[in-house]
Amino acid sequence: MLQSVSSKLREALEKITRLGVVDREAVEGLVKDIQRTLIGADVDVALVYDLSERIRKAAMVELPPALSRREHVVHVVYEELTTILGSEKATVSVSQKKILLVGLFGSGKTTTAAKLARFYQSKGLTVGLVCCDTVRPAAFEQLQQLAKSVDVQFFGIKGERNPVKVLERALAEVKRDVIIVDSSGRSALDKELMDEIRGINRLLEHHDSKSYEKILVIPADIGQAAKEQARAFGGIGITSVVVTKMDATAKGGGAITACYETGAKVVFLTVGEKPGDIEEYDPKRFVSQLLGFPDLEALLQKARTVVDEESAAKVITGDFTIEEFYQQLESVRSMGSFSKILDMMGAGKLAQKMPLDVQEEKIKRWKFAIQSMTRQERGNPDIINASRVRRIARGSGLTEHEVREMISNYTKVKKMMRKMSPSKLKRSGFFKQFGMKM
């Protein structure tokens, strides 16, 4: 898991922050830890050693004003990691366009098509998914199902073996702001695949060359082999890359750095199985998460896509009733697990201590318990004693244990969110910065 890379990097930095004196020996120890972690994550060895030299050199220069040596070293590591993982965030244009997805079997192209559809849909654009994968069995049905699940238009021709013919019909019939074309994959790069891709590419370029994107989809566990794919598919002029399965591997750094070395910009990462599990790739944010720095900006951006402004603020502050707790659970489930959210807030260790991830079925049943509560009990669950628990359980069809468990989870989550010190964020103008009225 990428999480293991993150925890090792955090441990390495924690070591140095605990030291009374940070000298060359301490920096050398940190460099060795970083080397082991990044090489284990499939980052190119030469790149890792180049990074090591830059950290050694920059860490021991004359200190900038108002920084301690340990603060300076942490900053150096952050800046250097950001450099090798992409330097600048790529720009995603939210506008009418055609998108061609290319990649090998198992890269996650088809599920990425649905995730991109959800992304552009959330930006207010209409989307169509086109199945030009005429090779893989059930590709038509899979994309059709995914299109239905995200409520976008689907187009395909069942049984047609020529993807160019499918695309010609699609371009004539699908009238949407964003048209995403899912192409065939192969188990390896071969002439037949590339000829097929070139044919689709020529048609799309002829139809709309100015607003046409060619996205290479590669899985994070491909590591340094990403470089070969980026170069091979580069013949059609790849405009950007999506790295998939970032939630399931520790080798994502290899794929990202390989793309960076070829000049192919990583634009999106997919981080789970749900349609909403796609993020714009921001090197600075990515490194912040790796090193355990709070990523509250990402959390708020994600919160805004599933809850209104007031509710998003309540997720952060912990100022919510038990009814709002349930509503937020429903919304937050589409943002990811509670442990993932706390990790974005720089409180990953706190998440490990609490059983925050509850089953979806359990959450659905809690709704009935809340409906069986009086208005007074919903406003102040602290008054719920044993006899009230029995009454709520009878009225909702839940067990007494389930009712107590719901109240216990509500109390724990509320306490944890309050530990995030929202009052400091408010005083700093953080909420105002992200358009939230607090």
Span 158-196, pLDDT tens digits = 989 999 999 999 999 999 999 999 998 876 667 788 888
Highest mean pLDDT of the ranges 121-130, 318-327, 374-383: 121-130
CB 181 within 8 A of CB 99: yes
Paired residues of 217 in beta bridges: 242
Tell me which residue has tokens 């590669």.
218
Quickly name the fold that domain 296-433 has.
434 Repressor (Amino-terminal Domain) (1.10.260)
Q: Count how many Cα atoms sit within 13 Å of the Cα of residue 27 in the half-sphere of its side chain.
A: 22
Q: Give the CATH architecture of domain 2-84.
A: Up-down Bundle (1.20)
Counting Cβ atoms within 10 Å, is residue 330 exposed (0-12), middle (13-18) or buried (19+)? middle
Q: Which string of b and e fits 64-81 if b means at least 16 CB within 10 Å? A: eeeeebbebbbebbbebb
Residue 267 has pLDDT above 80, yes or no: yes
Dist CA 11 CA 17 (whole Å): 10
Mean pLDDT within 1-21: 75
Q: Residue 296 and residue 206: Cα distance in Å, rounded?
A: 43
State which CATH number among 3.40.50.720, 2.60.40.10, 3.40.50.300, 2.170.120.12 fits the domain covering 97-291. 3.40.50.300
**Among 77-81, 105-109, 328-332, 399-403, the least confident range:** 328-332
Residue 432's pLDDT is 43
pLDDT at residue number 76 = 87
Instruction: Write out the two tokens for 56.
Output: 């050694």
Tokens 């065939």 -> residue: 184
CATH 3.40.50.300 boundaries in the chain: 97-291
What is the pLDDT at residue 312?
53
Q: Does the pLDDT at position 264 exceed 90?
A: no
Q: Mean pLDDT, to the nearest integer, of 91-108?
A: 90
Confidence (pTM): 0.66
For 300, counting Cβ atoms within 10 Å of its Cβ (0-12 exposed, 13-18 middle, 19+ buried), the class is buried
Q: Strand pairing of 278-280 and 266-270? A: antiparallel
* Residue 228, CA atoms < 13 Å, CB-side half-sphere: 8
Q: Could you give the residue range(s) of every CATH 1.10.260.30 domain in the chain? A: 296-433
- Rounded CA-CA distance 192/201 in Å is 14
One-letter amino acid of 354: M
Say if residues 304 and 22 touch (Cβ distance below 8 Å): no
Query: Could you tell me which residues are beta bridge partners of residue 154?
Result: 129
Q: How many CA atoms within 13 Å lie on the side-chain side of 223?
A: 12
The two tokens of residue 130 are 């086109």
Percent of the chain's residues with pLDDT above 90: 30
Torsion angle of C-alpha atoms 219, 225, 227, 229, degrees rounded to 10:
-70
Tokens of 408: 């216990």
Query: In which residue ranges of the chain is CATH 1.20.120.140 found?
Result: 2-84
Q: Which of 146-155, 199-208, 332-341 has the highest mean pLDDT?
A: 146-155
Q: What pLDDT is recorded for position 427?
A: 42
Contact 245, 276 (CB under 8 A): no
